Amino acid sequence: MLTIALPKGRIAKETLMLFSQVFQERFLFNDRKLILQTKDFTFLLVRNQDVPTYVHYGAADLGVVGLDVLEEKDDIEIVRLLNLGIGKCKVVLGSECGKPINYLKPRIRIATKMTNITQHFFSKRAIAVDVIKLYGSIELAPLVNLADGIVDIVETGTTMKQNNLQIDEVIMESSAYLIANVNSFFAKKQRILHLQDSFAKIINTSINDSLQNR
């Protein structure tokens, strides 16, 4: 039996589709249920940022999580197995259009959910920053002078556009990775490597198909 933590939302659906392709079986959560039990797998639906925690403590053998979350929680020990190529997004530095961040100020203020990534980014440039932790609606912060800029996730770019914000810089590109608990990786190595291999084949096939259809 393998237990797999999936982040609620689109990534969970796309991952379950990958499982369906590999095992020729339908994997679907019932309504609001957070556990899906099948013959060989237990799937858990958890908050995106919590996936590494479930995997690190061994509550799940495997997990699917964005590279951005892994970079933010870089102190957690897990095994990165495979880039699944789904859930693509960017972590960006942004500011209000026509009101660029003034780097001449002794300290700038940046609002974000991703405090570690933000702190590292500005430390590397030796820019003094006050990082303001928010839990959502990050785009609002520069508009009401809570912050000079934001560090946030951009997927389609719609939220930033509709709130009159611009991308100043792309800090990192992200997509979802298959990760494993360190002990599970050794104890259940064969099954995990088989799964990794099957996923890699499907991903490569779909990449080749899309290249051929261009």
Q: How far is the CB of 153 from ligand PRP (least distance, A)?
A: 4
Question: What is the DSSP pairing of strand 149-154 with strand 108-112?
Answer: parallel
* Length of the chain, in residues: 214
Angstrom distance (rounded) from CA 63 to CA 65: 6
- The nearer residue to ligand PRP, 52 or 66, going by C-beta atoms, is 66
The amino acid that residue 4 corresponds to is I
Q: Enumerate residues 6+ apart whose C-beta is below 8 A from 173.
A: 67, 88, 89, 90
Q: How far is the CB of 186 from ligand PRP (least distance, A)?
A: 34
- The nearer residue to ligand PRP, 44 or 150, going by C-beta atoms, is 150
Q: How far is the CB of 80 from ligand PRP (least distance, A)?
A: 23
The strand pairing partners of 130, in sequence order, are: 109
- The nearer residue to ligand PRP, 50 or 139, going by C-beta atoms, is 139
Binding site for ligand PRP (CB under 6 A): 136-139, 152-159
Angstrom distance (rounded) from CA 168 to CA 84: 28
Angstrom distance (rounded) from CA 116 to CA 72: 6
> CB neighbours (10 Å) of residue 137?
11
DSSP 60: -
Q: How far is the CB of 124 from ligand PRP (least distance, A)?
A: 23
Contact 14, 64 (CB under 8 A): no
- The nearer residue to ligand PRP, 40 or 155, going by C-beta atoms, is 155
Q: How far is the CB of 178 from ligand PRP (least distance, A)?
A: 21
Q: How far is the CB of 118 from ligand PRP (least distance, A)?
A: 13
- The nearer residue to ligand PRP, 27 or 66, going by C-beta atoms, is 66
- The nearer residue to ligand PRP, 137 or 205, going by C-beta atoms, is 137
Q: Which residue is nearest to ligand PRP (CB)?
A: 136
Cα angle value 130/136/137 (rounded, 5°): 95
